[in-house]
Amino acid sequence: MTFTAAFLDAGSVGKAVLSPLQQLPIQLKLYPSTDPEQVLLRLQGCQIAIVNKVVLDETTLRQLPELRYIAVTATGTNTIDLTAAAAAGIRVQNVEDYASAAVAQHVFALLLYFTNHCHAYQQSVQRGDWSKSPHFCLLDHPMQELAGQTMTILGYGTLGQATAKLAQAFGMHICIAERPENTSCRPGRTPFKQALEQADVLSLHCPLTMDNHHLIGAEQLAWLKPTAILINTARGGLLDPAALLSALQQNKLQAAALDVLEQEPPASDHPLLQHPHPRLLITPHVAWATQAARNRLIAKTAHQLDDWLKQEAG
């Protein structure tokens, strides 16, 4: 039997990396993107669904009796109803540890944007400010050294550990936050509130669950130093955007850099887009998306799917 697979949002990884999937002994249908109302139609007759951010909930899965395998081309599986999939006998596999280096690199790209102001100095040079300077240098945008500062990491899995490794290379101290609901700390962890209070930089790396929606809200932002920088490359739902904007506007936070928002792509009237702030930097969920990381992602997805196909062939 030849299995039929549909990749419902293949455009999210790019055409250039799809070769490992195309070489598998399956009938593969590629769709650049899929709207919610198109999901059922496109998965009819498919035994395999390949998705990145397309939602497959209980109602959808119940109407796909032929579906037997879901490949998630991401680490997070919050778009899949795992309970419903298990009840239907559908195997779900995600991909871990394909973008650790890429995400950690992006964390520091965001952080250095605010500490070194290369963009601002480039603009100064282009305006001719350096040429007019009576000195050999410009000091218009004070820079900060990371050495000696404390980075608090919330979520110490593979991504958090990769970020900590880079931070240590910069000479930073690492503080690993304990989960807020835990009354006792695991070895090497710091109580949640205390970890936020110590942070010069707070970097989020935990998965989004039903229990930690808006984990960082007005109360938690108030625990941070007004000189702290917040970075979120994890999931947009971890952070209350209204509370963040208020903290920036009231100078209760030095800066924030976000690679993720709660709704992606965001509506044009999203409050953080409608009210841009000079100390807020937003990138479009690209921390994971280096060419090398996307190659690893699809190679691992194809390898896992190939293993499943061989098991089914038995």
- Asked whether residue 172 falls in the same domain as residue 239, the answer is yes
Maximal C-alpha separation, the chain: 78
106, 178, 205, 285: which is the annotated catalytic residue? 285
Residues 239 and 159 placed together within one structural domain of the fold: yes
User: Residue 306's domain is classified under what CATH number?
Assistant: 3.40.50.720
Q: Which of 106, 235, 294, 296 is catalytic?
A: 235
Average pLDDT, the chain: 97
Of the residues 264, 275, 303, 312, which is catalytic?
Answer: 264
For residue 154, give the nearest of 244, 88, 224, 77 by alpha carbon: 224
Q: Which domain holds residue 243?
A: 99-287
Are 250 and 159 contained in the same domain? yes
Q: Are residues 123 and 256 in the same domain?
A: yes
264 catalytic? Reply is yes
Do 91 and 182 sit in the same domain of this protein?
no
pLDDT in tens, 43-84: 999 999 999 999 999 999 999 999 999 999 998 898 999 999
Residue where the block lists tokens 């999939």: 85
269 and 296 in a single domain? The answer is no
- The end-to-end CA distance of the chain, in Å, is 12
119 tagged catalytic: no
248 in the same domain as 199: yes
- Whether pLDDT at 1 is above 90: no
202, 233: one domain = yes
158/232 same-domain check: yes
Domain count, the chain: 2
- Copy the structure tokens of residue 140: 């218009």
pLDDT of residue 95: 97
Give 14's pLDDT tier (boundaries 50, 70, 90). Answer: very high
Q: 143 and 71: one domain?
A: no
pTM of the model: 0.91
